[in-house]
Amino acid sequence: MKRILITGVSGYIGSKIARALAPHARIETLIGIDIRAPQDSPTRLTFIQHDVRAPMADLFRRHAIDTVIHAAYVLPPIHDRALMEDINVAGTRNVITACQKTGVEHLLYTSSATAYGFHPDNEIPLTENSPLRGNDDFTYSKNKKEIEFIFQNVIGEQPSMAITILRPCFVVGPGFNNPLATHLKKRFVLCPNPSAPMQFVHEDDLVRVIQLCLENRLEGVYNVGGDGTLTLKEMVCLLGNVHCPLPAAMMIPINHMAWFLRMTWLTEFPSPALNIMRYPWVVSSAKLIRETGFIYQYDTQTAFQDFACSVKNGTA
């Protein structure tokens, strides 16, 4: 772990990782790539503007990269599904190929618990052995599932390269700024009824898990999620807003029309994303804790409370 490259360094998780790794004296080189420059990046970070779909083996060789953290991913749903899938899936294939060609020693991929999918019959909690079913009508979840299958085919092909896959639940904290965060911050928050309790992991805890994996060159798949859950009503109340439950049969067509017409004041995600709130997808961190001794600093409630405080203070 001397020469590290982070893809998606301008994103939520990528930027947090860069700031956490920058002070480490043992790291000789810290490079971040993205299509736009990060804000407030550490001085030790060398930023290179680069699309993950473009060839990068030469870039890896030029800087003698030995560790890659693949955090590049289109998270907010966009209307161009083909472009979203090209960046997410083709971009990941490209990163893996570059790692294989250049002898990278450790590849860590920040996947997501959404790879399990949002289904009414999900196991509670989901373990690393639970099936990856994704949701084919929701591009984000679908791509996460497909990318994990790509990794399954790669693992074992190159024994000299350690591969770590992390499956965090929703990541929350002062930097939480995805479509769910935007939705929950509205004064009147429409929520499908019935809905399922949700799980969160604090952004700082996830970064600590990533550092732990890098320092110990951990291999394998690990769920990452704080203890406990919160209901949508509890989340909305913590933010000081008004919880407005609607029957799913009513909310789905309304949301579909609003998404199609790009009525962002009403919704910022397609209707299949509502299943995130309708069905359970709570993960077990037992494997991570058992094998590493990791101790979470936040549970689901305190992680979300930190986000809520930052919203009220105007820093989120």
DSSP secondary structure letters along 91-149: HHHHHHHHHHHHT-SEEEEE--GGGG---TT--SSB-TTS-----TTSHHHHHHHHHHH
Residue-level pLDDT at 267:
82
How far CA 86 is from CA of 124, 178, 201, 276, 312, in Å, comes to 32, 20, 28, 23, 37
**Residue 65 burial (C-beta neighbours within 10 Å; 0-12, 13-18, 19+):** buried
Residue-level pLDDT at 197:
98
Residue-level pLDDT at 288:
98
| pLDDT, averaged across the chain | 94
The pLDDT tens digits of the residues spanning 195-213 come to 999 999 999 999 999 999 9
**CB within 8 Å of 103: residues ≥ 6 apart:** 160, 161
The pLDDT tens digits of the residues spanning 56-103 come to 999 999 999 999 999 997 765 666 678 888 889 999 999 999 999 999
Domain 3-171+200-226+282-298 falls in which CATH fold?
Rossmann fold (3.40.50)
- pLDDT exceeds cutoff 80 at 107: yes
How far CA 153 is from CA of 147, 163, 313, in Å, comes to 10, 12, 46
- pLDDT exceeds cutoff 80 at 156: no
Lowest-confidence region among 144-148, 223-227, 230-234, 261-265: 261-265
Q: What percent of the chain has pLDDT over 90?
A: 82
Residue-level pLDDT at 55:
95
- Interatomic CA distance for residues 255 and 259, integer angstroms: 6
Q: Which DSSP letter does residue 67 get?
A: E
- pLDDT tier for residue 134 given thresholds of 50, 70 and 90: very high
Mean pLDDT of 242-248: 95
**Domain residue ranges of the chain, discontinuous segments joined by +:** 3-171+200-226+282-298
Residue-level pLDDT at 270:
85
Mean pLDDT of 281-307: 98
- Interatomic CA distance for residues 66 and 71, integer angstroms: 16
Residue-level pLDDT at 92:
96
Residue-level pLDDT at 75:
65
Mean pLDDT of 165-183: 94
Q: What percent of the chain has pLDDT over 70?
A: 98
Residue-level pLDDT at 53:
95
Q: Which DSSP letter does residue 171 get?
A: E
Residue-level pLDDT at 262:
86
Q: In one letter, which amino acid is 124?
A: I
